[in-house]
Structure 1
Amino acid sequence: MNWKTVKLDIMESGVAVLTMNRPETMNSVNDQFCADVQAACKEASENDAVKVLVITGAGKAWSSGGDISLLAKIKDPISAKEIYDASGELVTAIYEIKKPVIAALNGVVAGASVAACMACDLIIASEKARMGFTFMQLAFCPDSGASHFLIQKVGYHKALELLWFGKILNAEEAEKLGFFNKVVPHEECLPEAIRWAEALALQPLMTVGLDKKLLREAVRNDYYQQTELEAMYQVLTWSSEDFKEGCAAFAEKRKPVFKNR
């Protein structure tokens, strides 16, 4: 785990903190950064000691999007597609983690990194956080799945407003639009995200994972498809030891102790 641009710290509680660590460039995305984030996500995903992942940034930014040195490599459609794919693979690496992923949004997030942020399951934001839909400034369309997440969050008309006018949202505006779960004082951003993560780590993680899958499928399923999927997942949870423990704890008026099986 000798990565140059990220750090991964795994706690005894089962919470892992992935820190994007290019503060001198506001954690902007270049080739090395893409490779390191993907590798760290793979480690967190496959390591049984990790139950919940928190992603944050070093310095004043979560991530400011594409590094200008990366964008300068665009010479033709082929190189443009290669760069787009690298950025998209970074977001996909976050999105495909089956465990809960919480963004501790410590500062600015802009460009393609907005998609990486929205690929997380929960977002705890500092009062100093800013969310910038700055593609238009470079005459770029959104990439890396940003349009997919954006229209789900705010709908067609608001999404176009944000894109066409390059809107930069402050923490309060982003929370009102539903981008953030919670805004906290700056110094509480990472500690609060870790508290949420530690609380999740004590939940029945099989059910947590199935909830994540259910809500993602709900976006494209109709009512009948979704209720069938719910029924299938209910059967899976009913057969688990954690379900039996939950019922026993409820009857005995005590807190359940889940073992994730």
Structure 2
Amino acid sequence: MKWETVNLDIMENGVAILTFNRPEFLNSVNWQFCQDVPAACRVVSSRDDIKVLIITGAGAGWSSGGDIATLFGMQDPVDAKETYDFSTGIVNAIYELEKPVIAAVNGAVAGASLASCMACDLIVASEKARFAFSFIQIGFCPDSGTSYFLTQKLGYHKAAEILWFGKMLKADEAYQLGLVNQVVSPENLLEETIKMAEKLAKAPLLAIGLDKKLLRAALKNDFYQQAELEAMYQVLTWSSEDFKEGCAAFQEKRAPVFKGR
């Protein structure tokens, strides 16, 4: 499936690959991009045959953030606010997917696209990946939720250091900080990410969807609130077909076949 700025390839193994497809502009975000990514995410959400989504970029970069022509074309503060709200819709579309989302970062990530990347559940980075938190270098603040994700993942002090000094993180630095899950060679990026996605596609996706909610709630809940939420979700999974299948497979010493319900 193709739009003007993105492609969506749906594989037979339950995995779909969303490719940002403006390679001549390092997949920067323009008005059409802001419409195409949410449209593709709606397709992913609506199709039962898509279990896991991989997001990658065509060409040399994952996404360089806001398109310069779009940013320079803003006329006044009201226009700027509308533009930033519109671009945040990309992050919302990715973050709100109940299915697992894996970023396969093939090159540079910068600007608002840092938020899109961190909104994914898992991040696999090529050794060539670079995470450019360079807002401060042009007198900018981060946007689209970048400060939220960065602080949640790394804590206040490290987030402040990265933003205030406009750091460019190499793939291995991002891994050491816990910003990415895995670093692989460029030629193996998609293959390794697909392997990870295939494992998740065979998993009990009802439980994974609830795990996403639990992990996000844990960022703000205290122990008692989180334990209560876990108990409620355990009741839901206990009554699911997947739980019954998992128990039966364990007793019968075979691999379970989960259906996500």
Calculate the TM-score normalised by the size of structure 2.
0.98
Q: Is the 1:15–1:52 Cα contact (8 Å) retained in structure 2?
A: yes
Equivalent residue runs for 1:82-161 within 5 Å: 82-161=82-161
- Residue identity in the other structure for 1:88: T
Q: Is the 1:29–1:63 Cα contact (8 Å) retained in structure 2?
A: yes
Q: Is the 2:2–2:8 Cα contact (8 Å) retained in structure 1?
A: no
Q: Is the 1:73–1:79 Cα contact (8 Å) retained in structure 2?
A: no
Counterpart Cα distance in 2 of 1:38 and 1:251: 43
What SS does the corresponding residue of 2:203 show, helix, strand or coil?
A: coil
What SS does the corresponding residue of 1:124 show, helix, strand or coil?
A: strand
- 1:260 matched to which residue of 2? 260
What CA RMSD, in Å, does the superposition of the two structures yield over aligned residues? 0.9
Equivalent residue runs for 1:238-257 within 5 Å: 238-257=238-257
- 1:214 matched to which residue of 2? 214
Which stretches in structure 1 are left out of the alignment for 5+ residues? none
- 1:223 matched to which residue of 2? 223
- Residue identity in the other structure for 2:106: N
- 1:188 matched to which residue of 2? 188
Deviation by residue 1:141-168 (Cα, 9 ceiling, x = unmatched): 1100000000011111111111111100
Deviation by residue 1:221-242 (Cα, 9 ceiling, x = unmatched): 1101000000000000000111
Counterpart Cα distance in 2 of 1:189 and 1:149: 23
Deviation by residue 1:32-80 (Cα, 9 ceiling, x = unmatched): 1111111111111111221100000000000011110110122211011
- 1:39 matched to which residue of 2? 39
- Residue identity in the other structure for 1:42: R
What SS does the corresponding residue of 1:65 show, helix, strand or coil?
A: coil
Number of matched pairs: 261
Q: Which runs of 4+ in 1 moved over 6 A?
A: none
Q: Is the 2:14–2:201 Cα contact (8 Å) retained in structure 1?
A: yes
- 2:28 matched to which residue of 1? 28
Counterpart Cα distance in 2 of 1:189 and 1:91: 23
What's the % identity of the aligned pairs?
Answer: 68
Calculate the TM-score normalised by the size of structure 1.
0.98
Q: CA offset at residue 83 of structure 1?
A: 1.0
Counterpart Cα distance in 1 of 2:29 and 2:137: 17
